[in-house]
Homo-oligomer: A and B are copies of this chain.
């Protein structure tokens, strides 16, 4: 049934271009990205993450990736006419050239999110603080939480609590978590982060991305990551259209996103692969990075699921 009363605090961050770019090497046409922006704006989606703001000088570029891999403000200004939907970019610790980052008042971007492992929290805080001081909304997204020991995570959260960062993200990088796990993590983050807002980023390896996101939303988590038609690395993300279908707020409208799916996503899904696939389900179950599943799907053995299962579960062959 619809959720009307418990989600008025929520905002949707559509990651189709950024996380979906991991599927097709950011090979989205300008028309695709413009249509996506218009449809998200018409749907009432609050943020669109339009790519990565890493520097090509600091990250090995193959020279083949689309322009959403290394966002350029002048380029964005040419192609996007800003409306209500804010623009976001993701950066990775150690991959950003500070000289690339304009003050927010001169930039097309509103929100900059820093992805980090718990062990690099200090670096992430330094970087996010720079963006904060230049006027951006900022988040720190702690990846691979299911592989972090509690003492290390507690230290990370204590450091972030003392920083000026606005929002902290719970990221289920491996798609291994369930609604009870998210409930546990949201309550833990709440206890440790007294004055921070929270966000969640989920993956659909176990067909739990949407359920996990809604469980977090009902517990007060504010920023909900999603992708149109679930497009994202490997098993993909929470589908934006499901959030719009479920959270029946007056500001939200499902129809424009259905139009985007109809016009662009069906064709794209025929060309590129994402969503519920057995190898990704197996890495999710085993709480592993999906890279082995993605490699398997790219090989001739792509449909040999029992072989992949045996490889991943045989201690002699595979040691975590």
List chain B residues, Cβ under 8 A from A177: 1
* Interface segment, one of A93-101, A106-114, A201-209: A201-209
CB proximity of A263 to chain B, nearest CB, Å: 9
* Interface segment, one of A121-129, A134-142, A159-167, A238-246: A238-246
A300 in contact (CB, < 8 A): no
CB proximity of A214 to chain B, nearest CB, Å: 7
List chain B residues, Cβ under 8 A from A310: 255
Q: Which residues in window 191-245 of A have CB below 8 A to B?
A: 204, 206-211, 214-215, 218, 239, 241-242, 245
A12 in contact (CB, < 8 A): no
Contact A245 B304 (CB under 8 A): no
CB proximity of A280 to chain B, nearest CB, Å: 12
A150 in contact (CB, < 8 A): no
List chain B residues, Cβ under 8 A from A241: 278, 281
Closest chain B residue to A256 by CB distance? B306
Contact B207 A209 (CB under 8 A): yes
A295 in contact (CB, < 8 A): no
List chain B residues, Cβ under 8 A from A2: 285
Contact A1 B210 (CB under 8 A): no
| Interchain CA distance A176-B246 in the complex, whole Å | 10
Q: Mark A59-73, 1 if CB is under 8 A from B, else 0.
A: 000000000000000
Question: Would A210 and B210 be within 8 Å (CB), given that A146-B1, A278-B258, A306-B259 are in contact?
Answer: no
Contact A206 B242 (CB under 8 A): yes
A303 in contact (CB, < 8 A): yes
| Interchain CA distance A239-B278 in the complex, whole Å | 11
Contact A261 B179 (CB under 8 A): no
Interface residues in chain A, defined as those with a beta carbon under 8 Å from any beta carbon in chain B: 1-3, 146, 176-181, 204, 206-211, 214-215, 218, 239, 241-242, 245-246, 254-255, 258-259, 261-262, 266, 275-276, 278, 281-282, 285, 287, 303-306, 309-310
